[in-house]
Structure 1
Amino acid sequence: MSIPGLDAWLQTPPGRYVMAWEQAAIDALVADVFGYNAIQLGLPQCSLLAQNRIPLRQVADDSGKVDVLCDLRQLPFAASSIDLVVMSHVLEFHDDPHQILREVERVLIPEGEVIIAGFNPISIWGLRRRLPNCPRHFPWNGHYLSVSRLKDWLQLLGFEADRGSFGCYVPPFRNERWLRHWRFIEASGSRWWNFAGGVYVLRAVKRVHSMRLIMPNWKQRGAPRKALSVVSEKEIARHE
């Protein structure tokens, strides 16, 4: 998925700041996920599966240096064949995020995991988009999804999501010096208003409720035994 302005933004101080936090948060989540197949959707500029130990790890996108070149709305993977899916800033910059999530649900195995990173609209970063002088290039031109809305979408697809983690409480300064100067707010932000981080990482597990078959009772009951009656000597002599 080619996003105009993404490559240039990743080289800026706020871009490096955001991706450093996301990389650390995702690394911690994927380190203990096991299986056979893992895919990263979008953002081929970053290796979000670097700390995962699944043997086959692939990056899929519709452009760039990827392992699988494809439309993210039609993933070329068999149903229930992927153990882990990771995607960062894919849903808020795509015109059909619902279909991407449906495809993720289709390819994941039961109890498979999806990890999603995105910009938080309920944050200073999200409010920045509403200001009159806000630029129209990446990352301000996306349709930011709140964690609560994303959880609702995932729940409709049968996923169970965790609370999510938030980071990047420093305002989106373009200057490296100001970003470093405001780093003190990270600790207080995560403690007092942890829901207001500029970005979030959310993990969800695909739940498949097992069916319980009600079988008929094939065990036949034995025929009732006939009660024995006492026969008198006269009745025996009559039949002789």
Structure 2
Amino acid sequence: MNAEFDHFAAWLATPLGRYVALSEAAWFERAAVDLFGYKAVQLELPQLDCLRSNRMPWRLQAGEAAGTQLKCTAHELPFDEQSLDLIALPHVLDFSPDPHAVLRECQRVLRPEGRLLITGFNPWSLWGLRRLKPNQDMPWKGNFVALPKLKDWLAELDLQSVNDEHLCYRPPIQRAGWLEKSRFFDQAGDRLWPAGGGVYCLEVVKRVRGMHVIEPQWRTVTVNQNAAVVVEKMRQQASKDRCK
């Protein structure tokens, strides 16, 4: 995955790549600014600082890509169970050989109520159609995991989507002039085709299943009338004995 992320990082320097990077940077800035905790980690793609707006005191960039602070694989993280409050995954699932394993590992290291911030390419968009052409290069040969499928994977791991957005409605053309002229696609697409952006963004929370409180099974006890008479006589006799 090292080489693929390095190639993807190089693609981000192209006109279309810069459009993606700027759009996602704005989303990560909005999504991460009000997330609180102590430890936050970004996996891969250090060229895009996903944690810039976050105020957690311990922030780290990890992964195999060049420039990361901690070398590791996304499906085998060197962190204890339930030790992180926030994990950012910028296109990690797109270029991982086993994206489901990445999610399982994130679920392991996240604290209860910890957050995942995920971005990925949307296969149900003009960008998804672009990847159907033969002999595609980066980034069109990525996984392009569909959002409904991703949400199913998350649900299996008790990871709940709390917010999703789509970005990048402009046609995937590597010409700066055409991209600039098609700016109106972003405003129109968000209103007319909200799920058709080339990139989806997902905020996810780790839920912990609550305990089921077992209430006592109260039952009505019928007092035998004869037994009640005997008890009353014993009470009266005890009272007489105290008066002697």
TM tier relative to shorter chain: 0.7 to 0.9
TM-score, normalised with respect to structure 2: 0.86
Structure 1 gap ranges (5+) = 218-223, 232-240
Structure 1 counterpart of 2:220: none
Equivalent pairs counted in the alignment come to: 225
Instruction: Name the TM-score, length of structure 1 as normaliser.
Output: 0.88
Question: Whole-Å Cα distance in 2 between the matches of residues 53 and 163 of structure 1?
Answer: 20
Matched residue, 2:117: 115
In structure 2, relative to structure 1, the CA distance for the partners of 1:86 and 1:33 (3 Å cut) is: same
Alignment of 1:169-188 (within 5 A): 169-188=169-188
Does residue 227 of the first structure (1) align with residue 232 of the second (2)? Answer: yes
**Selected match of 2:105 from 92, 97, 103:** 103
Residue identity in the other structure for 1:182: S
Secondary structure, counterpart of 2:202 in structure 1: strand
Question: How far apart in 2 are the matches of 1:186 and 1:72?
Answer: 32
Q: CA deviation at 1:214?
A: 3.9
Displacement of 1:160 after TM fit? 1.1
Structure 2 vs 1, CA of residues 176 and 109 (structure 1 numbering), >3 Å: closer, same or farther?
A: same
CA distance in 2, matches of 1:162, 1:193: 20
Structure 1 residue 215 displacement after superposition:
8.0
Letter in 1 for 2:192: W
Q: Report what 2:8 is aligned to.
A: 6
Answer yes or no: is the 8 Å Cα contact 1:154–1:160 preserved in 2.
Answer: yes
| Distance in structure 2 (CA, Å) of the matches to 1:216 and 1:79 | 35
Report the Cα distance in structure 2 between the residues aligned to 1:78 and 1:104, rounded to whole angstroms. Answer: 11
Q: Is 1:76 equivalent to 2:78 in the alignment? A: yes
C-alpha distance in structure 2 between counterparts of 1:5 and 1:71, whole Å? 17
1:37–1:84 CA contact under 8 A, matched in 2:
yes
Contact 1:161 1:205 in 2 (8 A): yes
Q: Could you tell me which amino acid in structure 2 is paired with residue 181 of structure 1?
A: K
Structure ranking higher in helix proportion: 2
Q: Which amino acid aligns with 1:226?
A: V
| Aligned counterpart in structure 1 of residue 130 of structure 2, from 128, 131, 134 | 128
Q: Within 5 A, what are the aligned runs for 1:1-240?
A: 1-2=1-2, 3=4, 5-132=7-134, 135-212=135-212, 214=214, 226-228=231-233
The structural deviation recorded for 1:216 is 7.4
1:146 CA drift (Å): 1.3
Over the aligned positions, Cα root-mean-square deviation in angstroms equals: 2.2
In 2, the alpha carbon distance for the partners of 1:163 and 1:30 equals 12
Corresponding residue of 1:236: none
Gaps of 5+ in 2: 218-227, 238-244
Q: Percent identity?
A: 43
Cα distance in 2 for partners of 1:97, 1:215 equals: 42
TM-aligned CA distance change 1:212 to 1:17, over 3 Å: same
Moved more, 191-200 or 59-68: 59-68
Q: Which whole-Å CA distance do the structure 2 matches of 1:163 and 1:27 have between them?
A: 15
CA distances 1:2-23 after superposition (whole Å, capped 9, x unpaired): 2152232111000000010011
Conservation of the 8 A alpha-carbon contact between 1:5 and 1:137: no
Report the Cα distance in structure 2 between the residues aligned to 1:140 and 1:52, rounded to whole angstroms: 30
Letter in 1 for 2:125: S
